[in-house]
Amino acid sequence: MLFIISYRTHRRAYVSVPIKAFSAWHVDVTLNFQNFGPDTVLQIGFPFDQSLAEADEEESPPDPGFVTYVDGTKVPVVYKKGIQNPDLKDLHYPHVFTSEIAFKSGEKKSIRHTYNVGGTVDSMGGMDFRYILKTGALWKGVIERVDVFLSTPARDMADLQCISPAPQKVERKGNDITLSWTMLNLKPEADIVFQRFFTELSRMSPDQLFEEVLGNNKSGFSVSNACMSEYFRNRVLATYGYPFAGPYEHALFYGSGQFKENPQFSWNKVTEKHRSLLNFLNDNSKQRITIPKPWYRSNVYIGAGAALVVLLLTVLFWLRRNKQK
């Protein structure tokens, strides 16, 4: 477990995914420290949760290819089993890689870790990977700055169905997508989590999703959070070829070829059932979009229709009066 008492830090993390997401994540982390106390030697540890080891590896140390460099020089790394702190019951990391690093008073050092990890896969096909930030809350003071970058081929974005917290910036360069976060003066309370929902759920058509969420054929599935609501709202829109403005959403639904963008997308083609589903999911999403009413329900058409009725009644009234004369 990472526990640093007397150091403020600038922490920079670069997370890259050079091959298919969740099958192997390559992580490259750089942490910049300065010693504001006397000369000392610290045991600096990097924690991993239970997902690091497979079920058949419980008796042997996991091997994520963990390497540590100090100011560009490779240093020895020792694997240790994490110990539960009774005062921090929600922080338990059974695997820790440690290095002994000496700091002179006032000295600055750049510590870099590289490793590979696979994330967690459940029996239903759901997957998740988390970049651990919460242990930074144990450090003295705040982390002055954290930069996280995740890079992956656009075709593999389909596996990153829910990201929390949402990336602050998304860029596309060629066939690659880069997601980024910048956090200042951070006392982290949560990790960055990437999820893919279980397979059956991810394959539901808009009609099936409507029945599960708003219909009578519910099987226990519920839209449990804003991230899930946003994903399924956008997935329904993707079936109509909705032109997503953001490169993340565009790559998520169109990068793998599962759906195809429609340059002639029109809200008028969205069925009443699907529009009801979209409105429900949109209301429960963190980032809402504007879903226009059907043309026949818009205020413009209602107003025009009412004006036309009044005009017709007026004409009929005058015709009747003229006829009576």
> Would the pLDDT of 235 be above 90?
yes
Is residue 29 located within the same domain as residue 108? Answer: yes
> Would the pLDDT of 184 be above 70?
yes
Give yes or no for a contact between 280 and 232, defined as CB atoms under 8 angstroms apart: no
> Would the pLDDT of 40 be above 50?
yes
pLDDT band at 61 (very low <50, low <70, confident <90, very high): low
Higher pLDDT among residues 17 and 160, named by residue: 160
Is residue 11 located within the same domain as residue 90? Answer: yes
User: Is 206 inside any structural domain?
Assistant: no
Is residue 192 located within the same domain as residue 272? Answer: no
User: Is 100 inside any structural domain?
Assistant: yes
Give yes or no for a contact between 153 and 175, defined as CB atoms under 8 angstroms apart: yes
Alpha carbon of 207 to those of 33, 128, 247, 254, 285: distances in Å? 54, 27, 27, 20, 20
Is residue 243 located within the same domain as residue 318? Answer: no
| Structural domain harbouring 82 | 7-196
> Would the pLDDT of 259 be above 60?
yes
Is residue 288 located within the same domain as residue 311? Answer: no
Is residue 185 located within the same domain as residue 111? Answer: yes
| pLDDT, mean over the chain | 79
Overall domain count for the chain: 3
- pTM, rounded to two decimals: 0.73
> Would the pLDDT of 10 be above 60?
no
> Would the pLDDT of 20 be above 50?
no
β-strands 67-70, 40-48 pairing: unpaired
Is residue 126 located within the same domain as residue 252? Answer: no
* Look-up of token digits 């890689």: 97
Predicted confidence at residue 171, as pLDDT, reads 86
Residue 158's nearest CA partner among 281, 257, 300 is: 257
